[in-house]
Amino acid sequence: MPGINYNAFLGILYLIIFMIVLVILDIIYVSYSFNRKKFRFTLPLVLLAHIVPLFVTLLFIPVTEFLLNIVNCQPSENDPNLQVMSFFPTVSCFSGAHIIHASITLFFTSIFVFISTVVAMTLF
């Protein structure tokens, strides 16, 4: 992640959140299809069978670490009372738009961890 700016970081962050939303929608569709015992499309089932185990095993730690970087704060060098992001010292933590980004990210991080735990318990 070295060398990227804050806007690129937010772009990647929301791309990961979008992928989590797609997985949630896929889980809902597959659950609904199983409930009705009728699959109109099988591609969502195939994607669910291949993508979710990848998220749970190989990508769990990188995705979780990237999502939690938004709340990785430290005291500012200039003002010890001000918290700034560790990777972006120009962005103050928990003020302005950062509160919205952090809230959304923490919400989807908790959903991601919950889904990953359930899938891991099912697979392993």
Would you kindly state where each structural domain of the chain is located, as residue ranges? 6-123
pLDDT at residue 33, rounded to an integer: 85
pLDDT in tens, 70-97: 999 999 888 888 999 998 988 999 998 9
Q: Residue 34 — φ and ψ, nearest 5°? A: -65, -40
pTM: 0.87
pLDDT at residue 69, rounded to an integer: 93
pLDDT at residue 93, rounded to an integer: 92
- CA–CA gap between residue 60 and residue 57 (Å, rounded): 6
Long-range Cβ pairs for the range 63-67 (8 Å, 24+): 63/16, 63/112, 64/109, 64/112, 64/113, 66/1, 66/12, 66/13, 66/16, 67/13, 67/16, 67/17, 67/105, 67/108, 67/109, 67/112
Below-70 pLDDT ranges, the chain: 1-2
pLDDT at residue 1, rounded to an integer: 64
Q: Which two tokens stand for residue 32?
A: 């609904």
Give the H/E segment covering residue 76.
none
pLDDT at residue 61, rounded to an integer: 94
